[in-house]
Structure 1
Amino acid sequence: MADSELFQRGLKTRKQVLGEKYVDANLAGSDEFMMTFQRAVTELAWGYAWSRSGLDQKTRSILTLGILAGLGRFQELGIYTNAAVASGVTVDEIKEALVQITVYCGTPAGRQAFLAAHEALKSPKD
């Protein structure tokens, strides 16, 4: 199946935000079955939502941290913490977003979000 224009646009944006090495590893580790998911997420999340002009990537990154914390997806929150930094979000802005998350999602979610972000921020970057 040829990759669509939406997939190509999404792949470019996905690599800009998450890093080429991370995205390439995800794609390389996907067999035909998992490529169905990879195509869907690349086209819908990255080719459609993240590639729109209405918000910049920094704003989308902060929103994504809040959404992931609210959903209790703390492993993903760690991944997107590094993506937020790459998108221009400062560590102080991440801390402020996490305070807001703590207040509105509750202290257990806030604590887990702080822990996930902290771990991601102190991990060595390749």
Structure 2
Amino acid sequence: MSVTDAHPSRFEQGMATRREVLGAEHVERSMARVSDFSRPVQELVTEYCWGAVWTRDGLDRRTRSLINLGTLTALGRDHELAIHVRAAVTNGCTVEEIREALLQTAVYCGVPAAMQSFRIAEGVLDELGAGEQRDAEGRQGDE
């Protein structure tokens, strides 16, 4: 499948949504690194994940972001988690909501997975300046 084979409006919707959620700079950087080998999976993700699912009316983007944080924690997908912590902030999630979503994962995914996600999220939030919103308890320690 190539861009010309993909459902054009869904692909374009997907690119627009992807840029809005992840940031145009991130998406352009990712797309610039696409090889002939990986192009089909990038097009699939853009068309179906971003164009067919993220654009649906059933959930708002904040909710989709919080679901992603839990899912990526469960799967141990640290790189994607960092990207989606940024997206969660872009989509209006508060630091408290992100923390609570990750705390929920400690019960259902395990403490080690949640601890790793907390570390990643805290680093991203600090980079974004959103970490300043954290409460007076300060930095989360290691177990």
TM bucket, shorter chain: over 0.9
**Could you tell me the TM-score, scaled by structure 1's length?**
0.94
Q: Do structure 1's residue 86 and structure 2's residue 75 form an aligned pair? A: no
Deviations 1:62-82 (A, max 9, x none): 000000000111121111001
Match of residue 67 from structure 1:
71
Equivalent of 1:26 in 2, 26, 30: 30
**Could you tell me the TM-score, scaled by structure 2's length?**
0.83
Equivalent of 1:36 in 37, 40, 52: 40
| 1:47-66 superposed matches below 5 A | 47-66=51-70
Q: Which amino acid aligns with 2:64?
A: R
Q: CA RMSD in A?
A: 1.3
In 1: Cα distance, 2:128 partner to 2:49 partner = 27
Query: How many residues in Structure 1 have an aligned counterpart in Structure 2?
Result: 125
Of Structure 1 and Structure 2, the greater helix share is in 1
Task: Give structure 2 stretches of 5+ with no counterpart.
Answer: 130-143
Equivalent of 1:111 in 112, 115, 120: 115
Percentage of pairs with the same residue: 44
Match of residue 120 from structure 1:
124
Q: Which amino acid aligns with 1:92?
A: E
Q: Which amino acid aligns with 2:103?
A: V
Task: Give structure 1 stretches of 5+ with no counterpart.
Answer: none
Q: Do structure 1's residue 5 and structure 2's residue 9 form an aligned pair? A: yes
Name the larger-Rg structure: 2
* Larger relative contact order (Cα-Cα within 8 Å, sequence gap ≥ 6): 1
Q: Do structure 1's residue 46 and structure 2's residue 46 form an aligned pair? A: no
